Structure 1
Amino acid sequence: MDLKLLRTFVTAAELENFHQTAERLYLAQPTVTTHIRQLEHLLGFQLFERVGKRVRLTPAGHRFLPHARRVLATYEQAVNEMTAWWQGYDTRLQLVTSPLVATSVLPGLLKEFTQENPRVEVIITTEVSSAVGQVVASGAAHVGLARAPSTHPDTISTVLYTDPVVLVAAPENAAGAGWMDLIGRHLLLTGNHPIYWDPLLVAVSRRQPHLRTLAVDRVDVTKRLLEEGLGVSFLPLSSVVRELAEGRLVTVPVDMELPTAATYLILPQHREVPDAARQFVQLLKRSFPGGVAPGPQGR
């Protein structure tokens, strides 16, 4: 069976629109229609039915879709593995991490891992923390690193390390100001961590009721805004190590108890991982003895 027919079918099933399918696959729309008709002729079943300007799968189409996806996935895996072999790799390590982990501790870890394992091909994808467990459970990644534990029943989450949450600001904003005055005069950038913000915001508002907040859902964006002097924020210490060392941000003392932020190692519950993944997990455990976050001189 021609793989291009399967690829057209799967794309059309996802988009439910032949015109959009043609645009995504860089085909003419009549070609998409021809591919679907050829596939239907081979199978002997109608795969789509028209609903206005869109299409939707027939019962036969729904039944065939997972088979088509598996065939394409097997082909792509074979091509990727042969390419890796040709490039001199013996095996592969697939990681999925949250953006915060990917931009803070992961670069140093990968540098050490690739030096120790030069024949392992490493593939990295990023997802929001809440989605990392699903990726690991699906088999699309061997190891996950996230700022929240996985809720998927087919995964195991353990705390890799914790680090303190600190109040940070640009030096010019923090100069000579107490923390409550600072928060009263500047925007408080919130929402950049999946766990601690809701209870922390309640506790802070009790001490400083005159809050103006701005929700930002990514730590890297928050840090860039802070460097520009647009507000202050509470961030995990490990996420601002470089900015503090270079003087682009400073910490501000706070006379109230602040939370700690955890980074979680997420592994499949009922599936063996390859040797490369086990070696990477061993490196993680060596790198964070006692579950302590990297300090200013760490990675």
Structure 2
Amino acid sequence: MDLRILQTFVVAAKFENFRQTAEALFIAQPTVTQHIRLLEKELGIELFDRVGKFVKLTPAGKRFLPHATALLAGWQAGMEDLLAWQQGYSENLHIAVSPVIARSSLPGLIRHYTKRYPEVDISIRIADSLEIGRLVQSGQVDLGLSRMVPGEFQLDAHLIQTDPVVFAVPLNGGDIEAPLPDWEQELTGNLLLTHNHPGYWDDLLLALRQRGLSFRTMTVTHVDITKRFIEEGLGVSFLPRSAIGRELFENRFIELETPGLVLPQAASYLVVSKTGCSQTAKQMIEILASLYPPLPLIRSM
């Protein structure tokens, strides 16, 4: 079977419009129609119902779609593997990484790994920490680097490092030599941007409320957006110091001490399957252990 015909079918199923399918594939609309007719003839069943300018998958089309998608994905995977082999790669390592780790410690880690194992083709998938356990457990990646202990079974979580959480406020063009503002006044006078990092926000908010402080909150679920909002003067937040190192160095943020309030520690975790790891994953674990000894086991499920 011509894989171009399968691709036409999959794209047509997405748009349910042959004109849009033609535009997406950079082919003529009659070619789309011809591809679908050829596929229907080969399968001996109609895949689309024609309704005016639009088309809709028949029950047979809906049943065949996941198989067509899998065939195309398998072909693409095979092509990528062959290309990697031609380029000198003999093995693969798939990693899921939280955005915070990807922007802080991951570059150094990858530098160590590629220097020692240049023959390994590394694929990095940026994912929220909540997703990383699922990706490791399902086998979509070899290991995960997460900012939280996963909830999935059959996974081990090892502590890599801890990271102090600090109270970050914008400099606002002020004199860096001037006395620092009072942290409670900054908190009560601005929006507190919350839940941008997993693990510590619920306990931290409870501790702030127990001090009798009155403040407004706004949930912003990504660290990068939180930092942008702080720069724009839209609020303040408690963030891992590693996530705002550049902003502190460039005097765009101020880190305020919080007398009387004990701030939490954020942590980074290595997430691996209990059922075994690939050889490339074991190599990465060895490098992590050399950089961040002793990788204590935090939770085994």
Q: Place the TM-score, normalised by the shorter chain, in its bin.
A: 0.7 to 0.9
1:231 is aligned to 235
- Structure 1 residue runs of 5 or longer lacking an equivalent are 293-299
Between the aligned partners of 1:53 and 1:159, the Cα distance in structure 2 is: 57
Mark the CA change 1:51 to 1:149 in structure 2 (over 3 Å): closer, same or farther. farther
Decide whether the 8 Å contact of 1:183 with 1:208 is kept in 2: no
Percent of residue pairs bearing the same amino acid type:
45
Partner letter of residue 45 of structure 1? I
How many Å apart are 1:111 and its aligned residue? 1.2
2:215 is aligned to 211
How many Å apart are 1:208 and its aligned residue? 5.5
How many Å apart are 1:115 and its aligned residue? 1.3
Q: Secondary structure at the match of 1:278?
A: helix
Task: Kindly provide the CA deviation profile for residues 117-151 of structure 1, in whole angstroms up to 9, marking residues without a partner as x.
Answer: 12212121212222223333444322222223434
Task: Kindly provide the CA deviation profile for residues 215-239 of structure 1, in whole angstroms up to 9, marking residues without a partner as x.
Answer: 3222123223334554321012232
Mark the CA change 1:170 to 1:119 in structure 2 (over 3 Å): closer, same or farther. same
Show the 5 A alignment for 1:90-109: 90-109=90-109
Partner letter of residue 45 of structure 2? F
Q: Secondary structure at the match of 1:195?
A: coil
How many Å apart are 1:53 and its aligned residue? 6.6
Aligned partner (choices 267, 272, 292) of residue 267 of structure 1:
272
Partner letter of residue 216 of structure 2? R
How many Å apart are 1:70 and its aligned residue? 2.7
Aligned partner (choices 256, 260, 268) of residue 252 of structure 1:
256
Which structure has the greater CA radius of gyration? 2
TM-score where L is the length of structure 1: 0.83
Between the aligned partners of 2:162 and 2:155, the Cα distance in structure 1 is: 20
Q: Which range moved further: 138-147 or 206-215?
A: 206-215
2:187 is aligned to 183
RMSD over aligned Cα atoms: 2.9
Mark the CA change 1:3 to 1:141 in structure 2 (over 3 Å): closer, same or farther. same
Decide whether the 8 Å contact of 2:161 with 2:292 is kept in 1: yes
Between the aligned partners of 2:254 and 2:6, the Cα distance in structure 1 is: 55
Partner letter of residue 191 of structure 1? H
1:87 is aligned to 87
Q: Which range moved further: 229-238 or 164-173?
A: 164-173
How many residues get paired?
Answer: 291
